[in-house]
Amino acid sequence: MPDETIKQGLAKQGVSRRDFLKLSGLLAAAMGLHAAPVEASGLPVSLNAPASGYQEQAILHAIETKQRLPVIWLEFQDCTGCTEAVSRSVSPSLGNLVLNTLTIEYHETLSAAAGFQVEQAKKDAMEKYAGQYVLVVEGSIPTDNDGAYCVIGGRSAVDILKEAAAGAAAIIAVGNCAAYGGLPKAKPNPTGAKGVWELITDKAVVNISGCPAIPEATTGVIAHFAVFGTLPKLDKLNRPLTFYGKTVHDRCLRRPFYEAGKFALSFDDEGAREGYCLYKLGCKGPTTYNACATIKWDQGLSFPIQSGHPCLGCSEPNFWDGGGFYEGQSAPLDRPTITAVGAAIGAGAALGIGTALVNQSKKKAKKGES
């Protein structure tokens, strides 16, 4: 229950002091705090004092004194992939312990209750924890036709989001859909889908983009807020710098092959077998900011590029419209059709011939005069 501190909750479950200390270290690592200076992490002053510069101690202090954090998790135009990722993602110790610092009050997929019951539970939670809860959003929000394309319990996604955002202490958009519109926003965007930060402009929205979002990034940010009560430092697209500070290309294990000009040209050629760079197969790593190449997936087992597939750029806005997945990144996005090219050349030629004829007739007329 949120009324007890995180530490009390852990103690109840038989977590020893030793494991508790391990958790603090683990959380610091998950949040990337070990590498960040105190100032950069956005720590409140009250937490800086006991920390004395050591992030683990700050976390320790916070876990001992803070209550568990209520979370309301909304799903709109999504595929539940980000929930799937979070729920089965991380190493069990981290996953269980991070989840122990939260109480998830509402989650369509994870909640046992359904229908009016669960809607009532959400309403109660929003009233009880007004101004305290973390709002996590998964999926984009359709805005065309008064939001008619996504309605839950007779209310549009826009209404539900705005209501929940009003009382939230922090808003986290998980996955590319919630962050930037994702697949539903791909051309021609039939539902008028938008990301959360396009609709909620009076509060900071943390975007944990990706398709799905890297679960450690999601849990890391929630844990950061749970422990420190602040949001981590963000980039221009409101993504936490800890996870989105570098491009996939910068951290890629195939990078040396890019520099050496050694590329796989198809998925089954010698280059592919040798593990060469996938740039020519459409890799979007150079313009994609994400931690795939370092945190990886499935407990650090692998990530798409490692297993031979080019990066799709799933943590960037409009990646579905960012050129063919298997087409070189340098390829233009809008290519004229052969008809458009023909029309341009034809029009130019016609105008050119016309000009020449006019000039000729002028010349003849002049000759006739003289």
Partner 1 sequence: MSSQAVLEFARGPFFYFALLFMLFGLAYRLFSVISLGWSKDRVVPMGSKSKGVVVTFLKAFLIWPFIPWVKNTFNRNPLIYIGGGLFHLSLFVVVILGTPHMLVWKSLIGLGWPTLPLPVVDWMAAVGIIAMVILLINRRIHPVLKLISGPAEFFAWLFVFLPMITGYMMTHHIGGSYEALYARHMITVDVLMIWIPLSRISHFVFYFFSRAIHGQEFGKRGVAV
DSSP-derived secondary structure letter, 285: G
Which residues partner with 193 through β-bridges?
A: 142
Residue 113 touching partner 1 (CB under 8 A): no
State the DSSP H helix or E strand holding residue 152, giving kind and residue range, or none if neither: strand 151-152
Closest distance between partner 1 and the C-beta of residue 347, in Å? 6
C-alpha dist (Å) from residue 22 to 53, 88, 194, 254, 276: 18, 21, 40, 33, 39
94 within 8 A of 30, measured Cβ to Cβ: yes
For residues 123 and 364, which CB has a smaller minimum distance to partner 1 in the complex?
364
Residue 246 Rama label (left phi>0; alpha psi -120 to 50; beta) = beta
Piece of the chain touching partner 1 by CB under 8 A; list 57-65, 86-94, 195-203, 336-344 = 336-344
Cβ proximity to partner 1: between 50 and 286 the closer is 286
Side-chain-side CA neighbours of 302 within 13 Å: the count stands at: 7
Q: Which of residues 224-253 bind partner 1 (CB under 8 A)?
A: 236-237, 247, 249
Of residues 254-293, those binding partner 1 (CB under 8 A) = 258-263, 279-280, 286-287
Residues 261/267/269/275 CA torsion (nearest 10 deg): 50
- What is the smallest separation between the CB atom of 201 and partner 1, expressed in angstroms? 16
Which 301-320 positions form the footprint of partner 1 (CB under 8 A)?
A: 316-318
CA torsion sign for 92, 93, 98, 101 is positive
Nearer to partner 1, 101 or 242 (CB): 242
Work out whether 339 is an interface residue with partner 1 (CB under 8 A): no
Which of 353, 361, 362, 364 binds partner 1 (CB under 8 A)? It is: 353
How many residues in the shown chain lie near partner 1 by CB under 8 A? 47
Instruction: Tell me how far CA of residue 57 lies from CA of 62, 63, 87, in angstroms.
Output: 8, 10, 28
The whole-angstrom separation of Cα 13 and Cα 70 is 19
Q: Report in angstroms how near the CB of residue 349 gets to partner 1 at its nearest.
A: 4
- Nearer Cβ to partner 1, position 49 or 340? 340
Q: Does residue 355 bind partner 1 (CB under 8 A)?
A: yes
Q: Provide the binding-site residues for partner 1, judged by CB under 8 A.
A: 236-237, 247, 249, 258-263, 279-280, 286-287, 316-318, 321-323, 327-336, 340-341, 344-353, 355-357, 359-360
